């Protein structure tokens, strides 16, 4: 009550507000940020403030904070945001599960099945970047890319599920082919003898809903635009895998750093 707009609490010093905010959950913080400029500044002025630090400690697994999973997400606010953009535990094949760290998919050893997962949040506007890396054998098909909510996340056989219809777009890391609508859209990256993906390499995926493009980077090398003319629908980061016990990690980074 006291910390409601117009009440005596809304004029509290920033340090006190920060302390109060550090007990709130993300949904409540979003509402608080709309109250006034001071509250907005306290919440968003410092992405490593006690507010975001304590929220990260509450919602992220200790393993995610302790290991290098989030090493390219420098702030606590960014880490919280990455968690909310991670793989969905509900929107995935029944043959996969999301590990306790909150960011890594594990595919169970099920024969003759291709299994995928989408993130919790999709994008219909803006520019977004995320990292994906394989932590186990690729098998015959290992695809990263994007999908609409209508794209299937499980099918029979070992196939390129991501890119198998008009609802998804994928890059198969095994043979460097681009896939959409059940067809190969050429090889990627477009250079002679492009190096094959190495286990553990972080691939950066860049979705630009303004230009309607999907591009990839490996390390700090821009590999080029893979898909153009994407539809103006909600698109989700996604992967599909076939190898038993393989693991794939996805971490949302926010806006691309290239401006």
pLDDT tens, residue by residue, 222-235: 999 999 999 999 99
Q: What is the pLDDT of residue 210?
A: 96
Do 141 and 26 lie in a common domain?
no
Do 144 and 41 lie in a common domain?
no
Do 75 and 121 lie in a common domain?
no
Decide if pLDDT at 12 tops 80.
no
Do 137 and 246 form a contact (C-beta atoms < 8 A)?
yes
Domain stops at, among 29, 61, 82? 82
What average pLDDT score do residues 152-159 get?
96
In a domain, 123, yes or no: yes
In a domain, 246, yes or no: yes
Do 46 and 99 lie in a common domain?
no
pLDDT tens, residue by residue, 124-136: 999 999 999 999 8
Do 120 and 208 lie in a common domain?
yes
Q: What is the pLDDT of residue 32?
A: 66
pLDDT tens, residue by residue, 13-45: 566 666 666 666 777 767 766 667 766 676 676
Does this model's pTM top 0.85? My answer is yes
What average pLDDT score do residues 56-63 get?
92
pLDDT tens, residue by residue, 98-122: 999 999 999 999 999 999 999 999 9
In a domain, 8, yes or no: no
In a domain, 5, yes or no: no
In a domain, 138, yes or no: yes
In a domain, 6, yes or no: no
Do 66 and 181 lie in a common domain?
no
Do 59 and 93 lie in a common domain?
no
Q: What is the pLDDT of residue 127?
A: 97
**Binning pLDDT at 50, 70 and 90, where does residue 52 land?**
confident
Do 93 and 213 lie in a common domain?
yes
Decide if pLDDT at 1 tops 80.
no
Domain stops at, among 67, 82, 97? 82
Higher pLDDT, residue 158 or 26: 158
Do 104 and 160 lie in a common domain?
yes
Q: How many domains does the chain have?
A: 2
Q: Which CATH number fits the domain that encloses residue 116?
A: 2.60.120.920
In a domain, 7, yes or no: no
Do 68 and 99 lie in a common domain?
no
Decide if pLDDT at 247 tops 90.
yes
Find, among 163, 132, 164, the residue nearest to 226 by Cα.
Answer: 163
**Binning pLDDT at 50, 70 and 90, where does residue 176 land?**
very high
Decide if pLDDT at 161 tops 90.
yes
**Binning pLDDT at 50, 70 and 90, where does residue 258 land?**
low
What average pLDDT score do residues 147-176 get?
96
Do 21 and 35 lie in a common domain?
yes
In a domain, 119, yes or no: yes
Do 207 and 231 lie in a common domain?
yes
Domain that holds residue 184: 88-254
Domain stops at, among 61, 82, 103? 82
């Amino acid at each position: 009550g006291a910390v409601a707009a117009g009440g005596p609490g809304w004029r509290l010093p920033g340090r006190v507000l920060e302390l109060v905010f550090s007990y709130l959950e993300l949904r409540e913080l979003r509402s608080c940020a709309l109250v006034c400029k001071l509250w907005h500044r306290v919440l968003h002025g410092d992405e490593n403030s006690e507010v975001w630090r304590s929220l990260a400690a509450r919602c992220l697994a200790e393993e995610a904070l302790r290991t290098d999973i989030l090493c390219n997400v420098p702030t606590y606010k960014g880490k919280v945001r990455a968690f909310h953009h991670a793989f969905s535990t509900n929107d995935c094949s029944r043959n996969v599960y999301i590990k306790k760290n909150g960011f890594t998919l594990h595919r169970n050893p099920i024969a003759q099945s291709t299994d995928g997962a989408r993130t919790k949040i999709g994008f219909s506007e803006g520019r977004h970047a995320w990292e994906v890396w394989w932590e186990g054998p690729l098998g015959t098909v290992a695809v990263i890319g994007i999908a609409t909510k209508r794209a299937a996340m499980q099918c029979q056989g070992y196939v390129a599920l991501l890119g198998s219809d008009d609802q998804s777009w994928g890059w198969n890391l095994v043979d460097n082919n681009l896939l959409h609508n059940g067809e190969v859209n050429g090889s990627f990256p477009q250079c002679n003898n492009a190096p094959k993906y190495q286990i553990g390499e972080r691939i950066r995926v860049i979705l630009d809903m303004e230009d309607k493009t999907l591009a990839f980077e490996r390390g700090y090398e821009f590999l080029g635009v893979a898909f153009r003319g994407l539809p103006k629908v909600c698109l989700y980061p996604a992967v599909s895998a076939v190898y038993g016990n393989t693991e794939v990690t996805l971490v949302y980074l926010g806006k691309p750093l290239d401006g």
